Chain A
Amino acid sequence: MTAQSLAGLRRARRNIWREIYNYRWIYLMILPTLVFIFLFKYMPMYGIQLAFKNYKLAGIAASPWNDFAHFKYMMDEPEFLPALRNTVLISFMRILVGFPFPIFLALLINECYTPRYRRVLQTIYTFPHFLSWVLLAGIMLNLLGSTGMVRKVAMVLNPEAGQNWNFLYDGNIYRWVLVLSDMWKEAGWGTIIYLAAVSGIDQSLYEAAVIDGCNRWQKIVNITLPGIVSMISIQFVLRVGYIMEGGFDQVFNTYTPPVYEKGDIIDTYIYRISFVRTSGVDLGFSTAVGLFKNVINFVMMLSANLFVRSLGQEAVL
């Protein structure tokens, strides 16, 4: 090694320290978060090994390895694969319908003519977010049940077809009931973040556009949408990263055996295995299921990230 390159190396090292010094405040800023994730997220992570062990009271480390028994158990169950398929499908339907709707709603609210009215509406839209599915399930039963109002209206409109509309017993319809009722509940809450993004757009852009003679549609396409597109892409990537979350509370409170085939998701299925049927599963089992779901989630998120990046958007990772 020549003296010259050695000096260069030393200089580079000094530069690193200098750079670190330059960023000293930034390090201080990120420090609390790092301490937080270390204490509450990484410290307990040794528990992941429980997915491959039979839990014993002696402790996680002392528990015996079980040769992937939890995963085998999971895969052997005849209802597991249908539940997996349903979870992905229902999640996909939710992304297809439930994801764009708040954006659409936010744009409409933004275009609303009277400011006061739009505030009132906006407030009303957030109400259902606060209701729990336990309660909404009761209301859904009242509205969509076999003597419910919606069914009655359907029967009046179309007596023959209405007879066959069993919103909560027919698996195919039930999936849409899930997707749409979730959209009903959460869309208003979801608009808040898009509206915030819209109001972060520089108003002078709109003023300039007005002077340039842009119409409303052109303003939306050329200013509003580009202004919130990075928000949309982050939300999209993260949403895809939760594809294995099918909405336990909602499904659990509204499903019935006739729709298990089409509406059962992994979480509800695991719940039935662990709490309703038997005690043949231990603490390791839920860790194994969690790990399985999260690996899929993680891979999906990475692919969504790639997809978004290929569209020219800034990536999340």
Chain B
Amino acid sequence: MKKFLTLGLALLLVLSIAACQSPTPGGESAAPATDKPATSAPAEGGATAAPEGGSNYDTPLTVSMNVLNAEKNGIDVRHEIVKELFNLSFDYVPIDWSDWNTKISTWVATDDAPDLIWWDLKGQQAQQYADWARQGAFAPLDAKYFNESRPNLTKTYESSKSIDALSVDGVLYSWPAMRANPPEAQSCYTSHWSYRRDWAKAVGLYKEGDIYTWDEWVNLVREVLKQDPGGNKDAGAGLVMPTWGFPHAAALFVGPPAAEGNETSSYIKDDSGKYIWPPATEAFKQGVKVTYDMYQEGLIYKDNMLFNASEAENMIKSGLAFADYNVTGSLNDWTTTMLQDGVIKDRSDFGIAIVTSWDGNWYMTQTEDYWTVTALSHKISEEKIERVLDFWEYLHTTDGIRMRAWGREGVDFEVTGPNPEDVKLNWEFNEATQSYVNPFTNISEFGEANAACGAVMNSVLIGPDAIPYMFEERNRLWSTMASGQVPVVIKEFDYVVSFGSAPNKDKNGSFGSTSKEKLVALLAQPGIDIEAEWDKVVASMMPEVQKVLDELNNGELK
């Protein structure tokens, strides 16, 4: 009896506290006003803010922003330059990959966000983003900011597909950091099978130009496992995949059906223009069967499904595995490590394979044309917005690109020609590795704001400090795409479906990870009729999926 009394008392206590709290709605998280924050006169907006000289930047401004590696940012000469040019400095709030989303949602929910909210925003979070934008969490980026005084930003504003996707009810709330790929890449994602060319040569199945038909590729993996040119015995592996690519990379990414995971998870349109769910297609089922057979045969590394970090990478680097599905961006690093450890003799021993599917086509997957976005807190002042946009515009110019990559002209580098990469570096040169020593702790400074615009070091801009191998490999890929010597089919990125919102779609997304889990669970069971089992999986999921498809096909997507 007494216990219940105490329980009652405790509850009473809780309730009374709740009651005390209620009148002041959420303390300081009082509704971010939907109208514009009261700031200094916005009269000087637009045209007058042109970055013509230092005169407009009399007031020093400090802008807070969340970044990775906060401790490495903002400590070198490049920040001095930005301070001189724009009277602008940054106050960096640290995040890391694992707490990024938690922090952003906590900050937004408690109205404690930095001025610039840097966000790894993908279609998955689009609904939450739109929700917050409608509730006034972000400052709008109106068309007035984009005029002839900021030609580069304006060009993106007018031409990028993601601007529409990032707009909520017609208003833009965040700025995309564009990817740096050239037009012939068609926004395709540069992830591929990277394989041991030396092993392919050792088993005598190497194809000039690294272009393999499906049968040749599977046979190559089989022969490598049989002949074991790496001398790994039972520790060796054929195909390994990073966690995000398992098991789809084996057949589904490179085959005809659209598959969740390769930066794209979505519904696709069939020939009649109706939306369908990829896992329910015949082509996908065939891909599942191919994957299952490869796994059961041992061509795919058995314990790949247990990986949860960099295991696949480790196996490649230590010469245990034949091929890994990965992004081209890592080719330089990996080959460097492998050379150092004596796993390969030359960089060209490890490179990209162009694997065509069993239907003869070479499939490439398109993705968003940006990699991250920056939203502006609703509390940021008009003056700060103008200043930050001026700075971003500068980052697109040749001067800005050079500043970001190499530092101060005349000290760190000398200009030798009109192109951004026409420079002579004054950096220390390491004779042993035959490369320049980058003096900056953070080599991707300001990458948050503008990953691309030509300023990303490992893409279009190939300065004297870069190792060319990776760029050569990537360019080979893109020129193969452009040349038409292999029939290329592009799995298009559908902005409407990815960013659109409808009740059931918001609840369930593309069911991509569920279908992936079910596929992995089937892989582990030997001797099953995989096609029948997959039909069962699809049948069990279809009732829920159908609700989303109906929404999409009835035009309920917002």
- Chain A–chain B contact at Cβ < 8 A: yes
Chain A interfacial positions (CB closer than 8 Å to B): 42-43, 45-46, 48-49, 55-62, 73, 134, 137-138, 141, 145-147, 166, 168-169, 253-254, 256-258, 260-261, 272, 275-280, 282-283, 317
| A residues in contact with B25, CB < 8 Å | 58-62
| A residues in contact with B18, CB < 8 Å | 45-46, 48-49
| A residues in contact with B517, CB < 8 Å | 257, 260
Whether the pair A278, B111 counts as a contact (CB closer than 8 A) is no
Whether the pair B105, A258 counts as a contact (CB closer than 8 A) is no
| B residues in contact with A257, CB < 8 Å | 305, 516-521, 524
Whether the pair A46, B234 counts as a contact (CB closer than 8 A) is no
| A residues in contact with B109, CB < 8 Å | 55, 57, 283
| A residues in contact with B513, CB < 8 Å | 272, 276-277
Whether the pair A57, B309 counts as a contact (CB closer than 8 A) is no
User: Does B52 lie at the interface of the complex (its beta carbon under 8 Å from any beta carbon of A)?
Assistant: no
User: Does B302 lie at the interface of the complex (its beta carbon under 8 Å from any beta carbon of A)?
Assistant: yes
Cα A169 to Cα B511 in complex, Å, equals 23
Cα A43 to Cα B111 in complex, Å, equals 19
Instruction: Known A138-B309, A279-B127, A283-B109; judge A60-B26 contact (CB<8 A).
Output: yes
| A residues in contact with B23, CB < 8 Å | 61
Whether the pair A141, B306 counts as a contact (CB closer than 8 A) is yes
| B residues in contact with A62, CB < 8 Å | 25-26, 31
Cα A253 to Cα B234 in complex, Å, equals 25
Chain A: CB-nearest residue to B303: A145
User: Does B340 lie at the interface of the complex (its beta carbon under 8 Å from any beta carbon of A)?
Assistant: no
User: Does B5 lie at the interface of the complex (its beta carbon under 8 Å from any beta carbon of A)?
Assistant: no
How many B residues have CB within 8 A of the partner chain? 57
Whether the pair A138, B509 counts as a contact (CB closer than 8 A) is no
Binary contact track B492-531/A, C-beta < 8 Å → 1, others 0: 0000000000000011110101101111110111000000
Cα A73 to Cα B306 in complex, Å, equals 30
**Distance from A185 Cβ to chain B, minimum over Cβ atoms (Å):** 17
Whether the pair A48, B14 counts as a contact (CB closer than 8 A) is yes
| A residues in contact with B125, CB < 8 Å | 279
Cα A253 to Cα B98 in complex, Å, equals 14
Chain A: CB-nearest residue to B22: A61
**Distance from B288 Cβ to chain A, minimum over Cβ atoms (Å):** 14
Cα A42 to Cα B16 in complex, Å, equals 10
Contact residue among B17, B136, B523 (Cβ-Cβ distance under 8 Å from A42): B17
Cα A274 to Cα B306 in complex, Å, equals 22
Cα A55 to Cα B3 in complex, Å, equals 34
Cα A77 to Cα B132 in complex, Å, equals 26
Contact residue among B20, B137, B303 (Cβ-Cβ distance under 8 Å from A141): B303
User: Does B489 lie at the interface of the complex (its beta carbon under 8 Å from any beta carbon of A)?
Assistant: no
| Residue from the set B17, B21, B30 with the largest chain A CB neighbour count within 10 Å | B21
**Distance from B227 Cβ to chain A, minimum over Cβ atoms (Å):** 19
Cα A225 to Cα B309 in complex, Å, equals 45
Instruction: Known A46-B18, A57-B137; judge A280-B509 contact (CB<8 A).
Output: yes
| B residues in contact with A46, CB < 8 Å | 14, 17-18, 20-22
Cα A253 to Cα B311 in complex, Å, equals 13
A-B contact pairs, 29 of them (CB 8 A): A43-B21, A46-B20, A46-B22, A57-B108, A57-B132, A58-B26, A59-B25, A59-B26, A59-B27, A59-B31, A60-B25, A61-B21, A62-B31, A141-B303, A141-B306, A146-B302, A146-B303, A168-B306, A169-B305, A257-B518, A257-B524, A258-B520, A261-B521, A277-B511, A279-B126, A279-B128, A279-B509, A280-B508, A283-B109
Whether the pair B508, A58 counts as a contact (CB closer than 8 A) is no
| A residues in contact with B514, CB < 8 Å | 277
Cα A70 to Cα B267 in complex, Å, equals 26
User: Does B230 lie at the interface of the complex (its beta carbon under 8 Å from any beta carbon of A)?
Assistant: no
Cα A103 to Cα B286 in complex, Å, equals 55
Contact residue among B30, B508, B524 (Cβ-Cβ distance under 8 Å from A277): B508
Whether the pair B303, A279 counts as a contact (CB closer than 8 A) is no
**Distance from B298 Cβ to chain A, minimum over Cβ atoms (Å):** 10
**Distance from B556 Cβ to chain A, minimum over Cβ atoms (Å):** 16
| A residues in contact with B518, CB < 8 Å | 257
User: Does B140 lie at the interface of the complex (its beta carbon under 8 Å from any beta carbon of A)?
Assistant: no
| A residues in contact with B74, CB < 8 Å | none
| B residues in contact with A56, CB < 8 Å | 135
7 additional A-B residue pairs with CB within 8 Å, beyond A57-B29, A57-B111, A256-B306: A57-B31, A58-B26, A137-B308, A138-B309, A169-B524, A256-B524, A257-B519
**Distance from A47 Cβ to chain B, minimum over Cβ atoms (Å):** 9
Cα A254 to Cα B105 in complex, Å, equals 28
Cα A45 to Cα B14 in complex, Å, equals 7
Contact residue among A55, A57, A261, A279 (Cβ-Cβ distance under 8 Å from B32): A57
| A residues in contact with B128, CB < 8 Å | 279, 282
Instruction: Known A59-B25, A257-B517; judge A279-B30 contact (CB<8 A).
Output: no
Whether the pair B14, A279 counts as a contact (CB closer than 8 A) is no
| A residues in contact with B108, CB < 8 Å | 57
User: Does B1 lie at the interface of the complex (its beta carbon under 8 Å from any beta carbon of A)?
Assistant: no
Minimum-distance CB pairs A-B, first 4: A59-B26, A278-B509, A59-B25, A257-B520
**Distance from B318 Cβ to chain A, minimum over Cβ atoms (Å):** 13
Cα A271 to Cα B336 in complex, Å, equals 37
Cα A141 to Cα B315 in complex, Å, equals 13
| B residues in contact with A272, CB < 8 Å | 513
Instruction: Known A57-B132, A279-B124; judge A134-B309 contact (CB<8 A).
Output: yes
Binary contact track B337-362/A, C-beta < 8 Å → 1, others 0: 00000000000000000000000000
Whether the pair A283, B22 counts as a contact (CB closer than 8 A) is no
Interface positions of B from 451 to 510, Cβ below 8 Å from A: 506-509
| A residues in contact with B26, CB < 8 Å | 58-62
| A residues in contact with B307, CB < 8 Å | 141
Binary contact track B100-133/A, C-beta < 8 Å → 1, others 0: 0100010011010000000000001111100010
Chain B: CB-nearest residue to A148: B303
User: Does B235 lie at the interface of the complex (its beta carbon under 8 Å from any beta carbon of A)?
Assistant: yes
Contact residue among B14, B30, B136, B511 (Cβ-Cβ distance under 8 Å from A59): B30
User: Does B13 lie at the interface of the complex (its beta carbon under 8 Å from any beta carbon of A)?
Assistant: yes
Cα A213 to Cα B136 in complex, Å, equals 81
**Distance from A38 Cβ to chain B, minimum over Cβ atoms (Å):** 9
**Distance from B538 Cβ to chain A, minimum over Cβ atoms (Å):** 15
| A residues in contact with B22, CB < 8 Å | 46, 61
Cα A297 to Cα B268 in complex, Å, equals 45
| A residues in contact with B105, CB < 8 Å | 283
| A residues in contact with B519, CB < 8 Å | 257
Instruction: Known A42-B14, A61-B22, A283-B109; judge A278-B508 contact (CB<8 A).
Output: yes
Cα A58 to Cα B520 in complex, Å, equals 42
**Distance from A41 Cβ to chain B, minimum over Cβ atoms (Å):** 10
Whether the pair B520, A42 counts as a contact (CB closer than 8 A) is no
Cα A179 to Cα B132 in complex, Å, equals 42
Whether the pair A279, B506 counts as a contact (CB closer than 8 A) is yes
Cα A141 to Cα B98 in complex, Å, equals 22
**Distance from B514 Cβ to chain A, minimum over Cβ atoms (Å):** 7
Whether the pair A141, B311 counts as a contact (CB closer than 8 A) is yes
Binary contact track B305-325/A, C-beta < 8 Å → 1, others 0: 111110100000000000000
| Residue from the set A59, A61, A317 with the largest chain B CB neighbour count within 10 Å | A59
Contact residue among B101, B305, B306, B507 (Cβ-Cβ distance under 8 Å from A280): B507
Chain B: CB-nearest residue to A274: B101
Chain B: CB-nearest residue to A79: B514
**Distance from A305 Cβ to chain B, minimum over Cβ atoms (Å):** 10
Chain A: CB-nearest residue to B235: A147
Cα A275 to Cα B127 in complex, Å, equals 14
Chain B: CB-nearest residue to A140: B306
Cα A275 to Cα B20 in complex, Å, equals 34
Cα A137 to Cα B307 in complex, Å, equals 9
